[in-house]
Amino acid sequence: MTATCTLTDCGAAPDVEYSMDDYAGPVARWCPGCGDHSVLSAAQRLLATHQMAPEKTVFVSGIGCSSRFPHYLRTYGFHGIHGRALPISTGVKLARPDLDVFAVMGDGDCCSIGAAHWIHAVRYNVNMVALLLDNNIYGLTKKQTSPTTPQGFPSNTQPRGSILPPMNPLSVTLGVTNASFVAQTADWAPQHLYATLDAAYRHRGFAFVRILQRCPIWTASLFRDAVQDPAKVEVLVHEKGIHDATTEAIHTNHLDHDPSDLNAARALAEEGGMRLGLFFHDPTNACYDETRRVPGYTPEDRIAILKRELDRHAV
């Protein structure tokens, strides 16, 4: 949008309408075929759908390929510290509850160096969206094992194959008291990805979305089967869940799951497998940004508080 200011007209249309282009930043410099491109498109569509004002929207990231995200959007951005996207986002949201806050993290970022923050961010349940772009590897630093690397998959730091069984980010999140929204989607299912971001954005509380993300450079083989064979993917369906007709038509393996059932969600997450959908949703949990909000005092209130305080010291 361009606004031309004249003496009689400030130029701004009364009903501002943002298009996808209004959110597009410089050309994204991820590798061709990188799943991050698809997440970026879904985010732009989400911004346009909800007509989020760019100046009222902040994308916070850590460090990694995926963390370049804020540079490629025309919203406000915060390219933070490796592992610290969540505490930075918490700070942003507590300081400015009126802003829409999105955190973008890689699997090394969130599940390794930032793991302690991740657990506490789930507890705080600050009203924001957290996106884990999980390519099962350290991309930016060139192929080192991450906590989500499948066991046996070789890397430059574990050349004989990843030693440990991979961490399950869904189980971890669901295991933390106060979890309120946990979903999984994939970069190669763009409709489902969009529907998931939309549901996450509408959720009041900390919405955790794990996005299975292809990295054709370091982990090309990992998601190949799932991408080529829709039957390898199972879609969670429920009236309270995330619904996308296209995805459900492509992936005919459906599993009925009520996302208000925490125990069922935990059991399902623990089973693993390529499952896309809403695992858990509880919109009633208290949000830290609301419970910790300081009331807006009027000057009269302030004088009354001051008087009360001074009275305590009267001699």
Ligand X SMILES: Cc1ncc(C[n+]2csc(CCOP(=O)(O)OP(=O)(O)O)c2C)c(N)n1
Considering only 147, 190, 241, 277, the residue that binds other proteins (CB under 8 A) is: 147
Contact residue for ligand SF4 among 75, 135, 149, 196 (CB under 6 A): 135
Q: Does 183 bind ligand SF4 (CB under 6 A)?
A: no
* Under rule CB under 6 A, residue 141 binds ligand X: yes
Decide whether 34 or 269 has the Cβ nearer to ligand SF4: 34
One-letter amino acid at 251 equals H
Task: Print the binding letters for residues 92-131 with ligand X: x by CB under 6 A, - otherwise.
Answer: --------------xxxx----------------------
Contact indicator for 3, 10 with CB cutoff of 8 Å: yes
Among 158, 178, 253, 285, binds other proteins (CB under 8 A): 158
Task: CB nearer to ligand SF4: give 189 or 268.
Answer: 189
C-alpha span between 166 and 148 (Å, rounded): 5
Residue 160's identity, in one-letter code, is: R
Candidates 216, 227, 261, 262: give the one binding ligand SF4 (CB under 6 A).
216
What are the structure tokens assigned to 21, written together? 């282009």
Which residues are paired to 105 by β-bridges?
132
CA distances from 243 to 16, 195, 276, 279 (A): 29, 7, 11, 13
Q: Which does 109 bind (CB under 5 to 8 A by kind): other proteins, Mg ion, ligand X, none?
A: ligand X
Regarding 68 and contact with other proteins (CB under 8 A), the answer is no
| 278 binds ligand SF4, rule: CB under 6 A | no
Q: Does 201 bind ligand SF4 (CB under 6 A)?
A: no
Q: In the structure, how many helices (H) and strands (E) does the chain have?
A: 11, 9
Given the DSSP bridges, would you call strands 100-106 and 206-212 parallel, antiparallel or unpaired? unpaired
Using CB under 8 A as the binding rule, whether residue 139 contacts other proteins is answered as: no
Closer residue to other proteins in complex, CB, 35/108: 108
Q: 74 and 24 in contact (C-beta within 8 Å)?
A: yes
| SS3 of residue 106 by DSSP | strand
- In the list 24, 48, 53, 81, the residue contacting other proteins (rule: CB under 8 A) is 81
Find the binder of Mg ion among 36, 107, 244, 289 (CB under 5 A).
107
Position 31 contacts ligand SF4 (CB under 6 A): yes
Which of other proteins, ligand SF4, Mg ion, none does residue 107 bind to, with CB < 5 to 8 Å depending on kind?
Mg ion
149 touches ligand X by CB under 6 A: no
First and final CA of the chain: distance in angstroms? 64
Please identify which residue in the block is written with the tokens 């192929």.
Answer: 143
Taking Cα atoms as reference points, which of 104, 289, 266, 292 lies closest to residue 200?
A: 104
CA distances from 9 to 2, 12, 43, 130, 297 (A): 13, 8, 33, 40, 37
Q: Would you count residue 34 as binding ligand SF4 (CB under 6 A)? A: yes
Under rule CB under 6 A, residue 234 binds ligand SF4? no
**Coil/strand/helix, residue 75:** coil
Nearer to ligand SF4, 101 or 131 (CB): 131
The sign of the dihedral angle between the CA atoms of 247, 250, 252, 253 is negative
Q: Quote the crossing angle between the two packed helices 190-202 and 35-49, to the nearest 10°.
A: 50
Binding footprint of ligand SF4 on the chain (CB under 6 A): 30-31, 34, 36, 65, 135, 139, 215-218
Binding footprint of other proteins on the chain (CB under 8 A): 63, 79, 81-83, 112-113, 115, 138, 141-142, 144-145, 147, 156-159
Binding footprint of Mg ion on the chain (CB under 5 A): 106-107, 135, 139
